[in-house]
Amino acid sequence: MRESKKRNLKCDDYTSSLKPDMQIILIRHGQPAVELSGMARGRDLSAIAKAYDASGIVDRPPPETMAELRHLNCMACSDLPRSVESAHALGFAGLPAADRLFREAALPHFARGSIALPVTVWVSVYRLLWLAGFARNGKSYTAAKARAGQAANRLIGLAKTHGNVVLVGHGLMNYLIAQQLRANGWQGPAKPGKRFWEYGVYECSGDSGGLREKVKR
C-alpha cells in the first residue's frame, strides 16, 4: 500500500465561526554568553560554533516583553541552553521537554583554513554559501526548510489545542518557520525579528485583516 504524503497544515483547516482565533508567537532567545566577535581562522569555526551552542544567556527579557507574553497558554523551545534559559527567564512555569526540532540551522563550514577574518565575516560568507547549496559539516538549506515545515506543523497543532503558543527559538529558524506559516495562510510579519528578545505575532482566523507587526525591544 502506498504511504500517503503528509501535507502542511493550513490556516483554513481550522477556521470557522465556531473556532476562536489562534496565535503563534516566535521570539528569539536572549543574548548568549559567547559572542560571535573577534578574529578567527577557518579551522576555528567548528570550536566557536560548539561553544556558542553550549552557552547560556547573560541578560533578561525586557519587562514589557514579559507583560505582553503573560497571557500565553503554551510554550515551546529548542534544546539548546540559550533557548531553554530564555524560556525560564520569561517566567514560563511547567516547562515542557525542549525539542531539537526547533534548533537553529547549523552553520556549514570547512574544517581547515589558516586565513584569519572577523567571525561576523565568516558567518556571512558561510550563510551565503549555504543558500547556494554548501552544506559541509552541517545541513543543507533544503533540509533546514523541511525541518521548518515540520516545526510549523508542530506549533500549529499546539495552537489548535491551547489557542496560542510561543516558541522561544532562534533567529534564522524562526524566520524559516514564519515563511512556512505565512505560506499556509497565517498572518504576520515576513521577519519575526533578529534582535535578542524580539518577536513576531502570527494569527489564524476567519478575518483576512489584522496583520500584526513585530515588537522590538
| Domain range annotation of the chain | 19-204
Helix residue ranges per DSSP H, 63-165? 63-68, 81-89, 119-131, 141-162
Of 75, 10, 24, nearest to 188 by C-alpha is 24
Task: Enter the C-alpha cell of residue 200.
Answer: 513576531
Output the nine-digit C-alpha cell for 153.
506543523
CA distance 204 to 210: 10
**Once rounded to an integer, what is the mean pLDDT over residues 102-120?**
91
Q: Is the dihedral of CA 70, 73, 78, 81 positive or negative?
A: positive
Measured between alpha carbons, how far is 198 from 192 in angstroms, rounded to an integer? 7
Q: What is the mean pLDDT of residues 144-161?
A: 96
Q: What confidence tier does 17 reach under pLDDT thresholds 50, 70, 90? A: very low
pTM more than 0.95:
no
Per-residue pLDDT band for 138 (boundaries 50, 70, 90) equals: confident
Q: Per-residue pLDDT averaged across 57-75, rounded?
A: 92
Q: What is the domain class of 19-204 according to CATH?
A: alpha beta
Please give the sequence-ordered ranges of beta strands (E in DSSP) within the chain, or none if there are none.
Answer: 22-28, 39-41, 75-77, 116-118, 164-169, 199-204
Residue of 120, 104, 126 lying closest to 175 (CA atoms): 104
Q: What is the mean pLDDT of residues 119-133?
A: 93
- Mean pLDDT in the chain? 87
N-to-C CA span, the chain: 53
Q: Residue 208's pLDDT band (boundaries 50, 70, 90)?
A: very low
> Which triple of cell numbers denotes residue 15?
477556521
Number of helices (H) and strands (E) in the chain: give both, helices first.
Answer: 6, 6
